Structure formats: C-alpha cells, structure tokens
Structure 1
Amino acid sequence: MHAYSALSLMLAAAGLASAALPKANEYKSDDCSGALNYGHHSFDLHTVTMDDTSNSVYQDGTRWYVFDGKTSNGGTCKGKFLGQLKASTLGSCLNLNTVSPGYRVRCLCNPLAGATKGINSCQYMGTS
C-alpha cells in the first residue's frame, strides 16, 4: 500500500470517528429520561420505526424526515410526511406525540442513507 493511500484511509477513518453517527434512541417517557426502550445508532441507519410503547426519541446525526405511519416494527415509513427536522433540533429529545401537532411520529427516515445522484429514498415513502 502506498503511503498516500494509507494516509487517505487514516484521515477518512478519523473523519468518520469524529462525525456524529445517525442516532434515534427511543424512550417510554415523554422526555427521554429513564431506561432506554430501543436504541438505534449506526453509520448506515436509514429508517427507524418507533415502537408503540415509546413516547420520545433522542435523535442526532442527520436531519430526519418524519412520518405518521410505518409498515411494521422494523419496517419502513408510510403515511403522512410530517416534514424534515430542523438543524436546531439535532441532538435533542423529541416527544413523539407533540412534535407535530395533531399527529404522532411513528417513523424516522435518514435522507443521507441510500441517497443516489441527489435523490434520497425518503422522498418516495409515505402517501402524501
């Protein structure tokens, strides 16, 4: 391996280690307190369906698209597209029942995972 290639790999690895990985950790409480209900944290995290017993999610690492439906636990997002989270919400707790008035958030989709040629797969989920 050439010195240039080895240096490039080390720099890339350092950049990945320092960047916030997509995270969506679910809690039964309304404010992300108490024991973790379900944890999701991975560099390739794409869709995260919220368990019906979860009431809040600590999310970070990407500006999630949020939906009011899901195909199943561990499935994909469906239903009404409720919007994309603002950068100011990164690293914060969201109450799944109140973040979008009149709707419960049941699924998060990472627009950066699976993106090709400027189009992300979250754009094709949901029904409206």
Structure 2
Amino acid sequence: MQSFLSILAAALIAGSAIPAVQAALPKANEYKSSDCSGALNYGHHSALLGDVTMDDTTHSVYLAGANWVGFSDKTGNGGKCSGSALTVLQGECNNLDTAHPGKRIKCVRNID
C-alpha cells in the first residue's frame, strides 16, 4: 500500500507541474485590435517558436515566455523575419504600428 501511495503522490506532483511548463513556453498571439483586446487573430505557442510573421490585418501582439525583437519585414506569411531589427519588444501587449516610430513591425523573433 505504501508503494502505491508513493507512486500516486509522485504522479500528482508531476501532473501539477505540467501547466507551469506550458505557461513558460514562448507565445506570440496576434490581434486585429491595437491593444490585444477582442478575438485572437492568430495564436502561436510552442517550445520551438522562433520567427513569427505578423499577418497584415494584425495590429498588436501579446508576447510572453521569451525575449523578442521586432523586424521591419518578413519573407512572407509563415516565413522568416527580414529587413532591419527595429526594437526589443517588452513582454505582454505590443502595438505593431507604434512600437517603433515610423516603421510597422512585420515579424517578431524569439532571441532566447
């Protein structure tokens, strides 16, 4: 019985760690609004998240779980960041149209 309880306790502890691990995964969620409100335009959430191109209808991006840099261009939707590295983006909501004066951010790159 003691062995069963030990296994059960270990399984419960391991299971409770799963949400914490997923929360730490890099995230770049796109919104049509300028302030990350409303319906999600496109969601990106993966341990392998690197370059994330922004859809032309996206105006803000919610970033978490990594350090991000915004770029002036993209090779195409689903492609890579190109052009100039414009700015280091802070976590949470970033307005793609105003985060860097005079340039729209078209792609974000996870630099971790």
What is the TM-score of this pair, normalised by structure 1? 0.70
The total of aligned residue pairs comes to 99
Q: What residue in structure 2 maps to residue 26 of structure 1?
A: 30
RMSD: 2.1
Q: Which runs of 4+ in 1 moved over 6 A?
A: none
2:88 pairs with one of 84, 100, 104: 84
Q: Percent sequence identity over matched residues?
A: 56
Structure of higher CA gyration radius: 2
Shift of 1:40: 0.3
Distance 1:76 1:83 in 2: 17
Distance 1:78 1:59 in 2: 19
1:58 pairs with one of 48, 52, 62: 62
Matched, 1:75 2:88: no
Secondary structure, in 3 states, of the residue corresponding to 1:57?
A: strand
Shift of 1:18: 6.4
Distance 1:105 1:77 in 2: 10
What is the TM-score of this pair, normalised by structure 2? 0.79
Query: Hey, which of these two has a bigger chunk of strand by percent?
Result: 2
Matched, 1:109 2:109: yes
Structure 2: gaps (5+ residues): 1-9
Residues 72 and 62 (structure 1), Cα distance of their counterparts in 2 relative to 1, 3 Å cut: same
